[in-house]
């Protein structure tokens, strides 16, 4: 059996070098399949093995619109459509992605250890909310010190406003953002600016509106449930071709768009008890692609099971994912700075757990979790670059009822301390758009469905989720356009001195991260941490070769005494805005970094 992915069928429409369209549809339920091109009569597809239908034709040209006709009656868009210019219910559009590749910049991906990540949402990052408008901000991001942008999901979703996790065409690029060509141009522009591109993808579920998968075949299984409905079929009858569908999707983003890394959403919700997990299969296919092209790509997962198998190498019985987000660092930090202690924060006690997160990555690494009421997690000796740390992201802002950012929840000085806490960690640092200048506007949950029953269900679900918070007002209507508009960054605020100060501080922090060897290193053995619960202070000591760094953090509202390091050390950063700094005192809510 040949497991090479270059010999597997690629779903959807692709074009050969001579311009002939190669059409592949998996529809094992169908008795007859034809393709309707630009509203003209149908052309029959040929039945092939394992439920596939195929056709090579010169009648389908790039940019033509088409639909599949199943059993002579049902006209449906292509589940592997590359473009849906008229939305999720309209016809698909044939796209020659190979033609884009000819225009790709000569670019080599950065080492993952050099990633300083900036997460953004295309629709709210700029006034126009398009890929083209993001290009205008690339010089700004480069000057900030960012080395990789992470784009929230762009797979086609209903309407024009959505976080992206309701996508229903995993291969198609959102039309309101500019479609596939505009995304390719953005990736190219990023590479020309020396920026890597991470794309957020969703393989654990498919959104509700415009989801036609069940019309074609067993893409879902009733064996498992997810918070969003039936699970994607990765291990039930018919799963081989579903697995191929998603593996080929991974390869498309890397091969055809030049994406450098994928962030796989909530892989703990992927249910797969196959002998070979779908994530391992994806990694093996990516390795095969990289060996062919000489390009480097990474797979990064969002994951809350604290199971090191997911990021262990395949040859060490792991699934081979390159890195993962660590929410537990975020939770411990937020509780330490005085944030919420309810919900998923209830398992975290603040300073003690933050110190453990610095040292051990997983806070719950085989210890009892009161929230889960069970022993949870595994110990990990994986290097620091396999973990992504942050003080806020789209989830932890947007899943609040009013979408408040750290900038409206914590003081100016505490925001600076939180930023430093992330940047001095032995993990890959990530910012959420706007935090670098203390953006005040919220990031709310928003959708633009067209199904009235679904709209009401989403509204009701949002209200029910926050019914305990009605004293704070009503949850904003996720369907309202104003909810979306409120969430757009206010770039004009950068004219204010308050925001300029924060931006300058972030630039300084990022430069220190890049230039000081001990801060740029990822050896978790070269780290020691001490904390004082009563004083609410923490001392982080890191070293790399001869270089040493001491980071003194004061999370309290009072000045605290401390003993500076002995020897030839200088202050690399003092976050305090006060001019009355005593030599042996940490100002409230501040950090001092020493290096030799």
Rg over CA atoms, the chain: 25
397 is in an annotated binding site: yes
Cα-to-chain-centroid distance, residue 172: 18
Torsion sign over Cα 33, 35, 40, 42: negative
CA nearest to 377, candidates 402, 394, 360, 390: 360
Q: Which of 135, 166, 241, 265 is catalytic?
A: 265
Neighbours of 253 (CB within 10 A): 23
CA nearest to 248, candidates 51, 80, 47: 80
Tokens of 253: 């983003």
Alpha-carbon distance 477 to 499, whole Å? 29
Known active-site residue 143: no
327 is in an annotated binding site: yes
267 is in an annotated binding site: yes
Tally the C-alpha atoms within 13 A of residue 125's C-alpha that lie toward its C-beta. 25
121 is in an annotated binding site: no
Burial class (CB in 10 A: 0-12, 13-18, 19+), 417: buried
SS3 553: strand
Tokens of 281: 């299969």
349 is in an annotated binding site: no
Q: What share of the chain is helix, strand, coil (3-state, %, to 5)?
A: 35, 20, 45
201 is in an annotated binding site: no
Count of positions (residues) in the chain: 596
394 is in an annotated binding site: yes
Contact 65, 91 (CB under 8 A): yes
186 is in an annotated binding site: no
Q: Which of 236, 260, 302, 404 is catalytic?
A: 302
CA nearest to 356, candidates 343, 344, 366: 366
328 is in an annotated binding site: yes
What DSSP letter does each residue of 110-167 carry, written as one string? Answer: PPGGG--EEEE-HHHHSSS-SHHHHHTTHHHHHHHT--EEEEPP-EE-SSS---STT-
Alpha-carbon distance 177 to 187, whole Å? 14
Contact 575, 557 (CB under 8 A): no
273 is in an annotated binding site: no
2 is in an annotated binding site: no
Neighbours of 367 (CB within 10 A): 12
Known active-site residue 265: yes
* Three-state SS sequence of 13-42: EEECCCCCEEEEEECCCCCCEEEEECCCCE
Contact 215, 253 (CB under 8 A): no
Cross-strand bridge partners of residue 195: none
Contact 542, 384 (CB under 8 A): no
398 is in an annotated binding site: yes
Cα-to-chain-centroid distance, residue 196: 14
What DSSP letter does each residue of 360-427 carry, written as one string? Answer: HS-S-SSEEETTTTEEE-------GGGEEE-S--HHHHHTSTT---HHHHS-HHHHHHHHHHHHTSSS
Alpha-carbon distance 571 to 290, whole Å? 43
Tokens of 49: 């093995």
331 is in an annotated binding site: yes
Active site residues: 265, 302
Report the binding-site residues: 263-268, 327-331, 394-399
Residue numbers belonging to the annotated binding site for substrate:
263-268, 327-331, 394-399
């Amino acid at each position: 059996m040949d497991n090479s992915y270059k010999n597997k069928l690629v779903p959807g429409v692709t074009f050969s070098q001579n311009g002939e369209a190669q059409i592949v549809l998996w529809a094992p339920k169908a008795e007859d399949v034809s393709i309707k091109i630009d509203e003209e009569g149908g052309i029959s597809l040929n039945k092939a093995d394992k439920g596939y239908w195929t056709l090579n034709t010169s009648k389908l040209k790039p940019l033509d619109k088409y639909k599949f006709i199943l059993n002579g009656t049902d006209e449906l868009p292509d589940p592997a459509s590359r473009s849906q210019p008229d939305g999720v219910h309209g016809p698909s559009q044939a796209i020659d992605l190979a033609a884009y590749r000819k225009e790709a910049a000569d670019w080599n991906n950065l080492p993952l250890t050099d990633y300083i990540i900036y997460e953004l949402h295309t629709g709210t990052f700029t006034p126009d909310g398009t890929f083209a408008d993001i290009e205008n901000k690339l010089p700004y991001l480069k000057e900030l010190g960012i080395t990789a942008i992470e784009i929230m999901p762009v797979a086609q979703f209903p309407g024009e406003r959505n976080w992206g996790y309701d996508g229903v065409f995993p291969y198609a690029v959102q039309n309101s953002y500019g479609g596939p060509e505009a995304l390719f141009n953005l990736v190219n522009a990023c590479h020309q600016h020396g920026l890597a591109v991470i794309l957020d993808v969703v393989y654990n579920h498919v959104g509700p509106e415009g989801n036609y998968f069940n019309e074609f075949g067993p893409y879902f299984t009733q064996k498992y449930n997810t918070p969003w409905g039936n699970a994607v079929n990765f291990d039930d009858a018919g799963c081989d071709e579903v697995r191929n569908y998603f593996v080929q999707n991974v390869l498309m983003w890397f091969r055809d768009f030049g994406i450098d890394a994928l962030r796989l959403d909530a892989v703990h919700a992927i249910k797969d008890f196959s002998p070979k997990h779908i994530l391992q299969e994806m990694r093996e296919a990516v390795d095969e692609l990289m060996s062919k092209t000489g390009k480097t790509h990474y797979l990064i997962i969002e994951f809350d099971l604290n199971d090191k198998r997911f990021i262990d190498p395949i040859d060490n019985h792991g699934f081979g994912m390159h890195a993962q987000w660590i929410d537990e660092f975020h939770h411990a930090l937020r509780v330490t700075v005085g944030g919420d202690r309810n919900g998923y924060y209830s398992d975290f006690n603040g300073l003690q757990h933050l110190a453990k997160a610095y040292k051990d990555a997983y806070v719950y690494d085989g210890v009892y979790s009161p929230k889960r009421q069970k022993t949870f997690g595994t110990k990990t000796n994986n290097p620091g670059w396999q973990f992504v740390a942050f003080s806020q992201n789209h989830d932890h802002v947007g899943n609040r009822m009013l979408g408040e950012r750290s900038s409206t929840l914590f003081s100016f000085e505490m925001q600076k301390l939180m930023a430093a806490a992330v940047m001095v960690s032995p993990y890959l640092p990530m910012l959420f758009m706007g935090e670098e200048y203390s953006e005040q506007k919220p990031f709310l949950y928003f959708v633009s469905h067209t199904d009235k029953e679904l709209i009401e269900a989403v509204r009701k679900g949002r209200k029910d989720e926050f019914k305990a918070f009605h004293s704070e007002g009503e949850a904003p209507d996720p369907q309202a356009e104003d909810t979306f508009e409120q969430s757009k960054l206010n770039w004009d605020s950068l004219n204010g001195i308050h925001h300029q100060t924060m931006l300058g501080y972030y630039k300084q922090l990022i430069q220190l991260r890049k230039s000081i060897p001990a801060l740029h290193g990822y050896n978790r053995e070269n780290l020691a941490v001490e904390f004082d619960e009563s004083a609410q202070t923490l001392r982080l000591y890191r070293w790399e070769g001869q270089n040493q760094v001491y980071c003194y953090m004061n999370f309290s509202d009072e000045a605290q005494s401390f003993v500076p390091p002995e020897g030839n050390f200088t202050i690399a950063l003092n976050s305090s805005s006060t001019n009355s700094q005593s030599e042996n005192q940490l100002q409230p809510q501040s950090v001092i970094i020493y290096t030799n």
